[in-house]
């Protein structure tokens, strides 16, 4: 019976909720933006009360606008702000060092693909601003990444929701149940694998960063 009263709410406020949650997450607030997008897309596929094109557009717009807010905050207030308040949003010294190192080596790739990586999704725009990444380049790659991200997860959720809507009969329901279990298991395996790669990447990045000369060493080398 839950869907009886929640459907009108989602149908009326769904697009606003998706936009707001995705925008805030992109700006640096730890909210489930990707989850909001997927749930709205599934709802669109199941009920037809939301237009999937509108869902994708508002999610992409929220991602781009939020990322640019985060970018401007990072550029305006820089490292002092991040070092002082970063822990409140999970941006500790370890992740900060990782982000700085990654932007130094793969700036454009991080801007584009950062939305697909859990550890970078919230912090990528902020760190791009802190590192004084070119705003024009940031806007281009960020917009492209946001549109691709919203399209991939939006279409995927919509197709899944539409399939759920079309299922009929006990055999179909059993098959759907197995499909859901398989999707959840696959998502869990992918997340564990992603976390493992993230840990390895962080460790390697810290090792690489430790080998770089510090400011004093660079000044001494310049004098010599």
Closest C-alpha to 72, from 106, 26, 118, 113:
26
Compute the average pLDDT of residues 215-219: 49
Residue positions counted in the chain: 224
Compute the average pLDDT of residues 10-31: 84
pLDDT, tens digit (0-9, with 9 covering 90-100), for 66-104: 999 989 988 888 777 767 766 666 666 666 766 666 676
Within a domain: 158: yes
Q: What is the dihedral of CA 157, 161, 162, 164, to 10 degrees?
A: 140
Output the pLDDT for position 218: 46
Band (pLDDT 50/70/90 cuts) for residue 45 is confident
pLDDT, tens digit (0-9, with 9 covering 90-100), for 116-156: 776 677 777 888 888 788 889 899 999 999 999 999 889 88
Phi/psi for 31 (5° steps) reads -125, 160
- Contact assessment for residue 36 and residue 19, using Cβ atoms and an 8 Å cutoff: no
Residues 151 and 172 placed together within one structural domain of the fold: no
Residue 191 predicted with pLDDT over 70 = no
Residue 2 predicted with pLDDT over 80 = no
Residues 112 and 184 placed together within one structural domain of the fold: no
Within a domain: 82: yes
Residue where one domain finishes, among candidates 151, 166, 181: 166
Identify the residue whose tokens are 């790739």: 109
Within a domain: 224: no
Closest C-alpha to 97, from 123, 121, 72:
123
Within a domain: 23: yes
Residues 145 and 174 placed together within one structural domain of the fold: no
Residue where one domain finishes, among candidates 144, 166, 188: 166
Look at 17-21, 112-116, 138-142 and tell me which has the smallest mean pLDDT: 112-116
Within a domain: 48: yes
Residues 117 and 207 placed together within one structural domain of the fold: no
Residues 179 and 78 placed together within one structural domain of the fold: no
Residue where one domain finishes, among candidates 125, 142, 166: 166
pTM over 0.75: no
Band (pLDDT 50/70/90 cuts) for residue 19 is very high
Output the pLDDT for position 4: 44
Band (pLDDT 50/70/90 cuts) for residue 6 is very low
Residues 155 and 61 placed together within one structural domain of the fold: yes
Band (pLDDT 50/70/90 cuts) for residue 113 is confident
Tokens found for residue 90: 């999970």
Higher-confidence position of 10 and 116: 116
Residues 130 and 162 placed together within one structural domain of the fold: yes
Band (pLDDT 50/70/90 cuts) for residue 211 is low
Higher-confidence position of 158 and 174: 158
How many CB atoms within 10 Å of residue 109? 13
The number of domains in the chain is 2
User: What value does the mean pLDDT of the chain take?
Assistant: 75
Residues 96 and 139 placed together within one structural domain of the fold: yes
Residues 122 and 195 placed together within one structural domain of the fold: no
Residues 79 and 157 placed together within one structural domain of the fold: yes
Closest C-alpha to 146, from 107, 111, 108:
111
Residues 161 and 200 placed together within one structural domain of the fold: no
- Tell me the residue range of the domain where 191 lies: 168-219
Residues 47 and 146 placed together within one structural domain of the fold: yes
Higher-confidence position of 167 and 218: 167
Using DSSP's 3-state secondary structure scheme, residue 131 falls into coil
């Amino acid at each position: 019976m839950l869907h009886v009263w929640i459907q009108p709410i989602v149908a009326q406020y769904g697009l606003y909720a998706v936009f707001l949650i995705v925008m805030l997450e992109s700006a640096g607030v730890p909210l489930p933006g990707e989850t909001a997008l997927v749930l709205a897309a599934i709802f669109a596929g199941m009920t037809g009360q939301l237009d999937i094109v509108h869902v994708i557009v508002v999610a992409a717009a929220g991602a781009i606008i939020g990322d640019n807010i985060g970018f401007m905050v990072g550029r305006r207030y820089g490292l002092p702000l991040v070092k002082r308040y970063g822990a409140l949003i999970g941006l500790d010294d370890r992740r900060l060092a990782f982000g700085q190192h990654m932007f130094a080596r793969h700036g454009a790739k991080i801007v584009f693909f950062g939305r697909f990586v859990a550890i970078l999704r919230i912090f990528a725009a902020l760190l791009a601003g802190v590192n004084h990444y070119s705003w024009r380049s940031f806007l281009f790659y960020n917009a492209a990444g946001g549109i691709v991200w919203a399209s991939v997860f939006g279409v995927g959720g919509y197709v899944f929701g539409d399939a759920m809507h079309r299922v009929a009969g006990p055999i179909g329901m059993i098959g759907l149940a197995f499909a859901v279990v398989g999707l959840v298991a696959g998502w869990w395996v992918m997340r564990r694998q992603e976390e493992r790669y993230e840990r390895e990447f962080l460790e390697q990045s810290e090792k690489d960063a430790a080998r770089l000369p510090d400011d004093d060493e660079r000044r001494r080398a310049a004098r010599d």
